[in-house]
Structure 1
Amino acid sequence: MTGSGSTAVPAPRRVTPRGLATRARIVDAAADLMYIRGVNATTLDDVRAASGTSKSQLYQHFADKDQLVRAVVSLRAEQILEREQGYLERLRSFRGLERWRDALVQRNALQNGAYGCMLGSMASELSDQDDEARKTLADTFAEWTGLIAAGLRRMQDTGSLSKTADPEKLAIGLMAALQGGYLLAETHHDIKPMETALDMALDHIRSSLTT
């Protein structure tokens, strides 16, 4: 019950299934464009054209480009973590790490290394522009790195990785090698630098194996 002179809070606008589908189409189109062209080079008009939506439809869901960019960051974070959980939550051997490496390299090879990591590419553009997006990206990288570290701890539990190894530091090093490899592959349009960076990081982990 509201008191005298109080202002009633309007009820949240109900979004219909059709509206949700339109919003998803806008975010998917924006995500594809921003991955290929970059965040700053992608305009709202580009997104409208790619998603087949009107200006009024777009602004019904997103007040400005910043809101749309944050939705894209959230989508990519969800997609990356879902994919990586599929590989890393089962990780308990060095061979599992090699299979993870192979899957990443093969996926990036399909585009000759172009465009880089979906998260890393956005991080390079947004980290100094949008603190909310930067935090989402940082949290996602931390969770991704944590999945690797958890797998390395399982390797310690099974006795294949030395108890003196530091899973958290090894995971950070492996993530840094992965992101640096993505960047070099993107620059050269050649997957070789990514392979080399990951292999050197894995060689460092191999040196801590017990068998």
Structure 2
Amino acid sequence: MNANSDESPAIRLTARGMRTRTRIVAAAADLMRVQGIGGTTLDDVMVASGVSKSQLYRHFEDKDALVRAVVTHVGEFVVARETNMLGKVSTLAGLRRWRDSLVKANALRHGMYGCALGSLASEVSDHDAVARQMLDELFQTWQRLIDEALARIQRTGVLDESIDTSRLAVGFLASLQGGYLLAQTARDVEPMAIAVDVALAHLESLTAPGRAAS
């Protein structure tokens, strides 16, 4: 993670202090996911995490520092999830299973709250340069994971070797993020499913001559 994040104080914490810090960040992440960053106060976080004001300020000097810690926390979760799901994808069928998993998870919330990273980005990118850079790095990591999956599919001969998988990865991630946003406003996962399906249909149209999509 970016060197400007607030991870360095955590290195000096005791095990008990680290548990307290983790509890604060997890509570803040849950609140901000539902209420938004602007709608979540430090008092809310204190109540939800069960810590005192002195404990909170021992770990975070202000709300910006806490938000950056939430970005790290959410980012680690998303990157771990995407690494697990995309890390072994080497077929179009595997990519469809990735799509199905994300759509199903969002359907359980009826599309509410959008993408965990996307929601954070929409609130902080224009107001906190450090958090914006952290989020940019996380999205680049996500994009790279998609690119690597597409490159593995390409190496099997299914996709034409002239295709730039890095550009396709940008399109896939943009379709996914737009789908999350439309599902969030519609309270219906269908727009998300359609957005990703359109990206998949485009990918299938790029199959190498003589190779069926698989």
* TM-score normalised by structure 2 residue count: 0.91
By how many angstroms is 1:160 displaced? 1.2
Any idea what the Cα deviations from partners look like across 1:86-116, whole Å, max 9, x if unmatched?
A: 0111011000110000000000011100000
Paired position in structure 1 for 2:14: 16
- Over aligned residues, Cα RMSD in angstroms? 1.1
Paired position in structure 1 for 2:121: 123
Paired position in structure 2 for 1:167: 165
1:72 to 67, 70, 73: 70
Distance 1:151 1:25 in 2: 34
Distance 2:110 2:43 in 1: 29
Q: Say how many residue pairs are matched.
A: 200
Is 1:199 aligned to 2:200, yes or no? no
Paired position in structure 1 for 2:108: 110
- Give the AA of the match of 2:41: T
Instruction: List gaps (5 residues or longer) in structure 2.
Output: 1-9
Distance 1:14 1:75 in 2: 18
Any idea what the Cα deviations from partners look like across 1:144-189, whole Å, max 9, x if unmatched?
A: 0111111111111111111122101111001000000000000010
* TM-score normalised by structure 1 residue count: 0.93
1:155 to 153, 156, 169: 153
By how many angstroms is 1:76 displaced? 0.7
Distance 2:84 2:20 in 1: 29
- Point out the more displaced range, 164-173 or 118-127: 164-173
Q: 4+ runs of 1 displaced by more than 2 Å?
A: none
Indicate the SS of the match to 1:153.
Answer: helix
1:186 to 184, 187, 201: 184
Distance 1:101 1:156 in 2: 18
Distance 2:97 2:130 in 1: 34
Distance 1:141 1:14 in 2: 29
Instruction: List gaps (5 residues or longer) in structure 1.
Output: 1-11
Distance 2:174 2:31 in 1: 25
By how many angstroms is 1:201 displaced? 0.6
Paired position in structure 1 for 2:97: 99
Indicate the SS of the match to 1:32.
Answer: helix
Distance 1:142 1:119 in 2: 12
